[in-house]
Structure 1
Amino acid sequence: MKTRVIDIDTYKLILTTIGSGFIYKVNGTDKKFRPNQRVKLALMLEGNLGIRIGDILNLTLKSFRNNGNGVILDIVEAKTEKNRAFTVPMEIYNVIKIYALENGLSDTDNLFPLTERAVQKQLKIVCQYLGLDNVSTHSFRKFYANEIFNNNHQNIELVRTLLQHSTIAITQKYLGVSSKEIEDAISNHVHII
């Protein structure tokens, strides 16, 4: 399965559905998908911070630090072993703090005592219910990349830096920007006076 990028409407639909729950059928039997705030928040963070689901699932409140000007998320990415430190929007941090408080989590408790497989399984049920194909947790990281790209004048270098890709070529592939599209854009931008 090639994981696809989701758009803002699909992002909202998936998260709303996870948060509200639903009844679905398995072999003719009604099953109940209970509202799951943990999975919803984990995917929301992936969509808002652009870090991989494995790194999201390893977060604790201690992963966040106040530097006087805002809140910094300071992690070492599991896949690349690269350090990553960046400002987290205060609105996002407040949601995390409220969630931790409501769930009685200490500074060192994992925010999401879940496995990647458990999140994928929940997401798969929701996507089947909604009739969505080729959506995985990675679709939320791609959503983040696409939103940053489209809302920042198609600045691919910005996206590359935020995702910590080693080359623009990797980011192009990630965004689904082909070499032909790049060549066409260059060819179509001729202004001779």
Structure 2
Amino acid sequence: MKKKRPAKPIKDKDIVLDIQDYLRYKNKRDYVLFVLGISTGYRAGDLVKLKVRDVKDALKEGYFIILEGKKVNTRNIRKENIKPREVPIVDKLRKILKEYIKDKKDWEYLFQSRKGNNSPIKVSRVSTVLNEAGKEFGLTNISAHSMRKTYAYKIYNESGHDIEAVREMLGQSSSKITCRYLGLDRELYDKYSNKLNDLIR
């Protein structure tokens, strides 16, 4: 069976902006979800659970506090590792969210499924939407998780490659995990492997 490749971050700022334009043109819900994902670094599974009242509270406070859940499989026992992570709402995101929730009811899911009945979009659908957007701009392995990875990669670059800052902002337990998460170990291996060309005539 073919191993599933991990989602990639979107490293090029121009492509991040192109994807926003593409999504805004196709579907406002998907555009807002993408912008929220890349500017908070929250997991897609946590974002799709948000209701309008959660956003109103966050706008009032100036930051989101989301109880992030990650399923951990320990000897076939599924546990949910839940911890709060606080993220400020940047100015441009504030404006987008205010506009987006203007005519929505407090109890509605922020990102509704097209099926109606006040049900949220599924993470698998988010992955499909972003994969299609990525393909439009020549990207591969883009999924719902690419939003969180794009956020992490941007922080990594803006902090002068401070992996500890990225680890803190993602709420991860070790810098090693963060390096793997960003694919930095893979980049390093590839870079050094390419040096082996020097050994070949």
**Which TM-score bucket, shorter chain as reference?**
0.7 to 0.9
Paired residue secondary structure (2:104)? coil
Asked whether the equivalents of residues 63 and 75 of structure 1 are also in contact (C-alpha less than 8 Å), the reply is no
Partner of residue 39 from structure 2, selected from 38, 43, 48: 48
Report SS of the residue matched to 1:83: strand
State whether structure 2 residue 182 is matched by structure 1 residue 172. Answer: no
The Cα shift of 1:99 comes to 0.4
Aligned with 2:160 (options 144, 153, 159): 153
For residue 14 of structure 1, the aligned residue among 14, 19, 23 is 19
**Which stretches in structure 2 are left out of the alignment for 5+ residues?**
71-80, 113-120, 189-201
Q: How big is the shift at 1:180?
A: 9.7
Match of 2:106 in 1: 107
Distance 2:135 2:104 in 1: 32
Shift of 1:89: 1.7
Q: Look up the match of 1:82.
A: 83
| Alpha-carbon separation, structure 1, partners of 2:50 and 2:31 | 15
Match of 1:77, SS state, is strand
Preserved contact between residue 160 and residue 166 of structure 1 (Cα < 8 Å): yes
**1:85-112 deviation line (CA, Å, top 9, x unaligned):** 23212331221111011xx212232110
The residue number in structure 2 matching 1:57 is: 48
RMSD: 2.3
Question: TM-score by structure 2 length?
Answer: 0.73
Moved over 6 A (4+): none
Give the TM-score normalised by the residue count of structure 1: 0.76
- Alignment partners' CA distance in 2, 1:132 and 1:179: 18
Q: Which residue of 2 aligns with 1:94?
A: 95
Structure 1's unaligned 5+ residue stretches are: 21-34, 182-193
**Alpha-carbon distance change, 39 to 179 in structure 1, aligned in 2, over 3 angstroms:** closer
Aligned residues: 164
> Paired residue for 2:133?
126
Q: How many Å separate the matches in 2 of 1:130 and 1:98?
A: 28
- CA shift, 1:151, in A, is 0.5
Residue 132 (structure 1) shift: 2.0
Residues 66 and 73 of structure 1: CA distance in aligned 2, closer, same or farther (over 3 Å): closer
1:36 aligned to which of 24, 27, 40: 27
